[in-house]
Structure 1
Amino acid sequence: DGSSVHYAYDARHRITGILDAEGGAWKRDYDASGNLTEEIDPLGHKTEYAYDNAGRPVRITDAKGGIKTLAYTPDGQLASHTDCSGKTTQWAYDGRGRLARITNALGQATRFRYTEAGEAAQAAMPGHANHPGQLEEIVHPDNTSEYFAHDAEGRLLAHTDALGRRTSYGYTRAGLVAQRTDAAGRTLKYHWDLLGRLRELHNENGSRYDFHYDPVGKLLEEAGFDRKSTQYRYDEASGVLAEVIEAGHSTRLEFDALGRLS
């Protein structure tokens, strides 16, 4: 349709302005550490961001004056998030830094359990043992559980959801996903080339999704299950993506002398 989006940058290559396809201008400001501190949309609505000494966001103030706050553990992991209405979600971790519990604003907790040495996976795939430290179970506030089973390489073999529906996975010798089978027995098969690039997907209906690459591995075309095509064109000099053609419509990407989207 001939519309375009333009970007402006500062000396540190940060986006300071965006002129959108409708002619609306966005403005961004940063602090000395490079953190985004303010964003103003085309209507003049301002969102402000504040950070702690480690550069982590601790407060976001929206255009209506609503405030969201975030807090962190001494190890830097997210501990809590309070939204504009004052509702707080909390995260807790075990001694190894793994997520152990999420408590929502109603006080309802979702718990995460990991296998320890010698423990076997439960309902996900009986007879297969998860290795120590792998996620085995998620217990939801209603006491329903999800289960996970992994192989010796740590790859996911099966996931059983809270309703008992199991999705299983198979892998190639190279460790790439070969197939996924859902609880209804529907299988999606993955086909890879010798360079590890995904070439085809085959669904349970026998339909095929194709991927085509150039000699250096750049994706040139996708042909979906419905056989609709998306094509990609690259700049000959820089090799960066320059055009996307989909359903007869072309989207062109232009870059400045420093390689930044303009």
Structure 2
Amino acid sequence: MQYTTSYDYNRRGDLVKVTDHAGNMTTMSYDLLSRKIGMVDPDMGAWQYQYDPAGHLVAQQDGRGWWLHFTYDALGRLTARRRDSVAGPLVATYSYDAGLKGFLDYSRAYDDSGAIVEVEVQVVARDDRYQVTEKRWLVPNAGTFRMAYGYNAGGQMTSIQYPADNNDGLGEVVQRGYDTVGQLESVVSLQDGTRFLDQVTYLATGQVAQLRLDQGTNGATLDFTYQAGSLRLDEKKASSGGGSAFDLQHLTFAYDNGGNITSILDARNGGQKQCFGYDWLDRLTSAFTGNTDCSAYSG
């Protein structure tokens, strides 16, 4: 059985219709600035969107008829979301600049009574490069969780320290290792020695040729091959630590002259082939599976 999804665009390149294999259609409408102002979805219902003169989304109505309003500061950063109207009950707030200028300090979400009901995320500290070195999550009725991050001189993350408990404590450290040219080569727990990423092999052109996840029978090895000249991904294979070659995955990719993926052959799933079609502007117009010969699709 063949399943096809088609995509239609207007002259400005806006996606205006998506039709699935059963004929269900999702349609979108836009203003003269190509901003989406309406959507009708079989599952989500009819939505509409409104913008201010600066192009910020200021209101949206969902398929239930509920309105959500958005406010922004002078720099165009989202500061609040409210229900029903611009003065309605708060849904969420966002605060900036208290720690460092230009950065989010925290976000909060509220219930109908105004109480915080969702996780509040706080940026506790940053380094001289403004990279986050410590973050805190305040979870209502569950506690406070903290994480810490380390970086090397090149700005790459070298460690992540995870919460030890729900009382703001720090626990397990997972370390990231890099080779001499800055390519990731390992991810290891300093707590018990677990090697989440055991080894990575790169080609001279920088693409990943092979990587090993964990060790032993619970691990997996992923192999990647690339097309000569274009260096596009040609095959992706995955083998389990205790299994036979490519027992987890074996995908083969094909492309058109513009570099768009035209098919993905799944050898581990009965030879199923996913096929993709494009218009002359390289916009996706169709996607289907089930037919092993993409050339047989006539539209």
Class of the TM-score when normalised by the shorter of the 2 chains: 0.7 to 0.9
1:101 maps to 106
Alignment partner for residue 261 of structure 1, among 284, 292, 295? 284
With over 3 angstroms needed to count, the CA separation of the structure-2 counterparts of 1:42 and 1:139, relative to structure 1, is closer
1:133 maps to 130
CA contact (8 A) 1:131 1:154 kept: no
1:192 maps to 202
CA distance in 2: counterparts of 1:20 and 1:55, whole angstroms: 31
2:187 maps to 180
CA contact (8 A) 1:211 1:223 kept: yes
**Which shifted more, 79-88 or 8-17?**
79-88
Q: CA deviation at 1:61?
A: 0.8
Q: CA deviation at 1:22?
A: 1.5
Structure 2: unaligned runs, 5 residues or longer: 165-170, 241-245, 286-299
CA distance in 1: counterparts of 2:182 and 2:78, whole angstroms: 32
CA contact (8 A) 2:137 2:144 kept: yes
CA distance in 2: counterparts of 1:137 and 1:44, whole angstroms: 38
Q: CA deviation at 1:109?
A: 4.1
CA distance in 1: counterparts of 2:64 and 2:234, whole angstroms: 45
SS at structure 2 position matched to 1:63: coil
TM-score by length of 2: 0.76
1:218 maps to 232
**Which shifted more, 147-156 or 223-232?**
223-232
SS at structure 2 position matched to 1:91: strand
With over 3 angstroms needed to count, the CA separation of the structure-2 counterparts of 1:25 and 1:193, relative to structure 1, is same
> Is 1:88 matched up with 2:97?
no
1:32 maps to 32
Residues 137-172 of structure 1 show CA distances to partners (whole Å, capped at 9, x for unaligned) of: 112323432111111111111111122122110112
Q: CA deviation at 1:86?
A: 5.1
Cα RMSD after superposing both structures: 2.2
SS at structure 1 position matched to 2:280: coil
CA distance in 2: counterparts of 1:109 and 1:43, whole angstroms: 30
Residues 110-140 of structure 1 show CA distances to partners (whole Å, capped at 9, x for unaligned) of: 321234xxxxxxxxxxxxxx54422111123
Letter in 2 for 1:93: Y
CA contact (8 A) 2:80 2:90 kept: no
CA distance in 2: counterparts of 1:63 and 1:260, whole angstroms: 28
Residues 155-201 of structure 1 show CA distances to partners (whole Å, capped at 9, x for unaligned) of: 11111112212211011222121111135422112222111111111
CA distance in 1: counterparts of 2:184 and 2:57, whole angstroms: 36
With over 3 angstroms needed to count, the CA separation of the structure-2 counterparts of 1:37 and 1:184, relative to structure 1, is farther
With over 3 angstroms needed to count, the CA separation of the structure-2 counterparts of 1:252 and 1:93, relative to structure 1, is same
With over 3 angstroms needed to count, the CA separation of the structure-2 counterparts of 1:230 and 1:74, relative to structure 1, is same
Letter in 2 for 1:201: L
CA contact (8 A) 2:125 2:135 kept: no
2:274 maps to 251
Matched residues, number: 247
SS at structure 1 position matched to 2:201: strand
2:123 maps to 112
CA contact (8 A) 2:121 2:135 kept: yes
SS at structure 2 position matched to 1:4: strand
Q: CA deviation at 1:214?
A: 0.4
SS at structure 1 position matched to 2:284: coil
1:75 maps to 75
TM-score by length of 1: 0.85
CA contact (8 A) 1:222 1:229 kept: yes
Higher-strand-fraction structure: 2
2:294 maps to none
Letter in 2 for 1:113: V
SS at structure 2 position matched to 1:88: strand
Letter in 2 for 1:181: V
With over 3 angstroms needed to count, the CA separation of the structure-2 counterparts of 1:254 and 1:166, relative to structure 1, is same
Alignment partner for residue 258 of structure 2, among 238, 245, 248? 238
CA contact (8 A) 1:131 1:152 kept: no
Letter in 2 for 1:168: Q
CA distance in 1: counterparts of 2:106 and 2:200, whole angstroms: 35
SS at structure 2 position matched to 1:114: strand
Residues 52-88 of structure 1 show CA distances to partners (whole Å, capped at 9, x for unaligned) of: 2222222221111022222222112221234689552
With over 3 angstroms needed to count, the CA separation of the structure-2 counterparts of 1:21 and 1:87, relative to structure 1, is farther
